Each structure stands twice: as C-alpha cells, then as structure tokens.
Amino acid sequence: MAAKVKPVKSKSRTKPTMAKKPQSSRKKLKIAIAGFGTVGRSVVKLLLQEANECFELTHIFNRSIARKKVDWVPASVRWTESINEVLSSDADIFVELTGGLKPAGDWIRKALRAGKCVVTANKQLIAESGPELVGLAREAGRRLEYGASVAGGIPAIIGIQEGLAGDRLYKIAGVLNGTCNYILTKMESTGASFESALKEAQELGFAEADPTADVDGYDARAKLVILTQAGLRARVKSEQIPCWPISAVGAVDFAYARELNCAIRQISLAKKETVDGLSVRAFVRPALVPASSLVAHVEGSKNLVMATGQYAGQMVFSGFGAGGDPTAVAVVSDLYSIARGGTAPQSNVPEVETPRDVSGEFTAPYYLRFVVKDRPGIIAAVATVLSRYGIGIDAVLQRPGYPHSALPFIMTLESCPSAQLGCALQEINRLDFHVEPVLCMPILLD
C-alpha cells in the first residue's frame, strides 16, 4: 500500500505580497529652481506629484515671494528672493526658468562654475550663447541640458542629438511657433482676417500683448538657431537668418492656396551644404506647402520638427510646443536625463563648426500676390520685368468678385533663385498700379 503523503502548506502562499519597487542606492539629486511662473509652477507640480526617488526640491527663487508662495509646496522647500543663496547652496542642479539674456545668462555661468548642472528652457539665451555655455559646462565637468528651449514638450533636441546621432543630418525644417500656426490655421479654416485671428490668439493666451516676436518670426528664428546647432552641428547666429512676418498674409491668399492644392504655414528651414566648405541656407517665413504634406496638417498651436538625414531619411517630431505643462515635461525629462547619465558632461557629442557662409538664398518656385488698380497691361508689365531676370511665369490666377480699385490676382513662378527674384520685385514694386506691396512666398514642395 502506498504511503500517504501529507501536503505541506507553503508559507509563501498564506498571504500574497506586493512586489516592492527596487530602492535606488544613488542619493537624490537636489534641485533649485529660479522662476515660479507658468512653467516653473508646472515643473514643481510634476516633481511633487508623487514620491520621487530621484530628486529633492530644495529651493525656489523668485522675486515677490509673498505674492508667489503657495501652500501646496512642502515646508522643507526654501523660498528665497536671493539668487546668491540659490547659487551658493548645495543643490546639484540649477533649473533656470526666468528667460531673457540677462541676468539669466550670468546665473547659469555662475551655477556651472559652482559645480552645478544646469537645465534651462531659455531659447533666447541658448540661441545667443549656446556653444559658449556648452563649452563652459564641459570645462566645469557638468551637464547643461536645454531640451525645453525648442518646441515645448516635443522631444526634438534629445531625439535629434541621441536618437539620430548615428545619421548625418543635413536639413532641419518645420513649424516652430504655435502662435503663428494658430493664427494661420484660424484664417485658413474660417476666412478670418489676420487682425481678428491675432486678437483671438491673444484672448486665449497663445499670443502676447506685444506679438512682435512671434508674428515677425524672431521666436521661431531663435529655435531654428538652436536646432541648427544641435542637429546640423553648425554654429549660426540669429542675425544671419532672414525672417519675414506673417502679417501680410490675407484671407485671399488661403483661397488661392486652396486652388493650388496648398496650405500656408510659417516655415523655419535650415539646410547644410558641404561643397567647398560648410555653408548653411536658412530662413523663417510664411510659405506654401502641399496640402498632402505633414506640415499642412499641423493645426492650432501645435509644432512640428522634421530632421532629414543622409541614411535614415526624414524623421518627424510633432505635438504641442507651448504652455506650462508641455514645457515642464521637457524640463523634467532633462532632469531625468541627468539622473540616468550622471552629472559629468557627455564626452561623445561632436563639436559645433562655424560655417564659411550663412544666407537665406534658396532656389524654389514662388507665389506672388498683387493688389492693383486694374487697367490694361499690368500682367505684361510684370512679365517684362521678370523676363529681364530670366524668371518664368508658371500660371496667373484671378478670382472674381473684387473691386477694380483693389483687385487681387496671383502669379506662380517657375523655380528661381531668391536673390534674382528679390531684384525683380524691387523693380516691380516701383510700378504705379500697386495698392499694396507684392506678397512673395516660396512654394516648398519637399
């Protein structure tokens, strides 16, 4: 007879237990934040929303602490109106969220020299002094991260620098200003004027009371400078890149663009060429893009960054590029990058090269919109000037229903160099039938 075996109860089955998160042996990195505005508040909320095993918030610097202080920040966090207290503290990482060139640039330099890593969302400063600050960080043996300076929460910088590090990028392009994109897509979808679309953008908080930096292209240009340095490894300056305002674009241009199966967007573009040395072609301007393109489908305040490489082809990063929460995500992502990789600078980042030439010259087809006092011979007069510069006309379109005292019509031109076209337009604009200057936009087909 087989012996009976009494089952033995396993102690491990008597009470189920939850798996515990592995405890990190590394000490928490201490964080000091300068600036408690829209982005600063969002960064602090992200850092405090759950028990954080990587970071400890120690200081918040801001002017007018009494007005800014909130009760949801732990009492252990030191609020201060003294930036020197922050820079001389034992914080491991200094997070600069105040913006502007000064005094923010001086604070970052002092923080690096004091042995702190730095995370910043300051696009003006990185565009102006990025290579210098990266060099200073290397000398100090510390990290400088600025992923939040371009396209808010879109991981464009880290995606380009790390995800595409094995490729040879030669072109960066995209929609880099959410305010302009909101205005243009509002005009496109509703037929609104530029003025009414801008007013709505201001009421919704997308545009500043003084929208000049956005609508004239300066904001997008600063971001393009940063992307050119990060992706094309070319040192360029803002003043080397021409930019055009979107304010001259009217509702009639969207009507004509639809007839051409195109959309109108503010495009930032930089292209690297290596014939006879390094040169860069770059601009920020409103342009026509095919309705089938990804750029044409970027709507509202979204951004899009396209990086084109020799091997992988075109890669696209898209999403919301402005606002407190998206930008805060990028800031905190940079903090985690430091936590994962350590505070020592990355040694494998290639040097930035200074091009022998930077210009806004491009060869492309063009869209010209005229508003004229109608009379016979206008098209012939324009064609005569264009022919002298060797520029061919592709098509002429004129929509009905407009008064002859201010009659809009368009010409599309065959591909031509922008410098040649600029000279021709100087002559054309001196002709006496114009009600307003000719609007010129490139038609970007790739």
Question: What residues are labeled active site?
Answer: 223
DSSP string, 371-413: EE---TTHHHHHHHHHHHTT--EEEEE--SS--GGGEEEEEEE
Edge-first strand listing for the sheet containing 363-372 = 393-397, 407-417, 363-372, 434-442
DSSP string, 307-341: EEETTTEEEEEEEE--SHHHHHHHHHHHHHHHHHH
Token readout for 325 is 């929460």
Q: How many CB atoms lie within 10 A of CB 240?
A: 15
- In contact, 243 and 216? CB cutoff 8 Å: yes
- In contact, 282 and 293? CB cutoff 8 Å: no
The residue type found at 317 is F
Indicate the helix (H) or strand (E) that contains 65: helix 65-68
Strand partners, 30: 56
Burial class (CB in 10 A: 0-12, 13-18, 19+), 113: middle
Contacts from 7-16 at CB under 8 Å and sequence distance 24+?
A: none
Token readout for 203 is 């009421």
Task: Give the C-alpha distances (Å, rounded to integers) separating 57 from 48, 125, 423.
Answer: 8, 24, 58
> Rounded to an integer, what distance in angstroms lies between the CA atom of residue 166 and that of residue 178?
30
Token readout for 25 is 């042996």
User: Helix (H, G, I), strand (E, B), or coil: what is residue 15?
Assistant: coil
Token readout for 193 is 């004027």
Q: β-pairing, 93-96 with 29-34? A: parallel
Rounded to the nearest 10°, the torsion over CA 443, 124, 41, 95 is 130
Token readout for 105 is 């640039």
User: Helix (H, G, I), strand (E, B), or coil: what is residue 136?
Assistant: helix
The residue type found at 343 is T
